[in-house]
Amino acid sequence: MENLIIEHKGQSLSRKIIGFIWILIAIILLITNKEPLQQNDWIRSIAFFIIGIIFFTPLVGSSRSTIGTSEGFLKIKWMDRTRTITIHEDEIERILLAKDGVKIFLKGKKPVKILLYLMGKEEKDQVYKFFTEYAQQNNFTLGK
């Protein structure tokens, strides 16, 4: 089964804009200060600059979502999470496809929720198709 990769271009662009604004605020704070710069002014400007740089990195969250399978595991790296979720196929009870997301129910654990509310119809269809095929291949109960 082929891995699913979804690029979130709108989210990537908004992060770059927010990062640019933070960097711009840092520069403006340094330039517009009429008195000699104090240590607090430097610290504040450097902090704003670092926050701006962080928005350009994946530390705020990925602009790409991936779902893949490998050797009995389901690996999910979603746009609203900073870590990859690894689920062993033996732990999966059933998969529920809902209008706003996908829930993967696990044996003895809380379900894993994958939210789709920020996605377009085409991207949602790709996710639903992936999980439908995955459930059929592994004989999982698929709910809608």
pLDDT value of position 116: 82
In angstroms, the CA 99 to CA 71 distance is 30
CA 46, CA 51: separation in Å to the nearest integer? 9
On the question of pLDDT at 143 being above 90, the answer is: no
CA–CA distance, 110 with 19 (Å, rounded to integer): 34
Tell me the pLDDT band of 80, cut-offs 50, 70 and 90: low
Token pair in block for residue 97: 């496809």
Are 104 and 86 in contact, with CB atoms under 8 Å apart? Answer: no
Tens-place pLDDT, residues 1-59 = 678 888 766 666 777 888 899 999 999 988 887 777 788 888 989 999 999 988 877 66
pLDDT of residue 8: 65
Does residue 2 form part of some domain?
no
Average pLDDT of the residues in 123-133: 89
| pLDDT at residue number 14 | 77
Domain-embedded: residue 70: yes
Write down the pLDDT at residue 62. Answer: 60
- In this predicted structure, the answer to whether residue 139 has a pLDDT above a threshold of 80 is yes
User: How far is residue 71's CA from residue 67's CA, in Å, rounded to a whole number?
Assistant: 14
Domain range for 118:
64-143
Identify which of 68, 96, 97 has the alpha carbon closest to the alpha carbon of residue 76. 68
How far, in whole angstroms, is CA 47 from its chain's centroid?
Answer: 24
Looking at the 3D structure of the chain, how many domains does it have?
A: 2
Whether 48 and 109 map to the same domain: the answer is no
Q: Quick check: helix, strand or coil at residue 95?
A: strand
Tell me the per-residue pLDDT of 94-118, one tens digit each, with 9 for 90 and over. Answer: 999 988 889 999 998 899 988 887 7
| Co-location of 70 and 128 in the same domain | yes
Whether residues 75 and 116 fall in one domain? yes
Say which residue, 131 or 59, is predicted with more confidence: 131
User: Do 53 and 71 reside in the same domain of the chain?
Assistant: no
Asked whether residue 21 falls in the same domain as residue 81, the answer is no
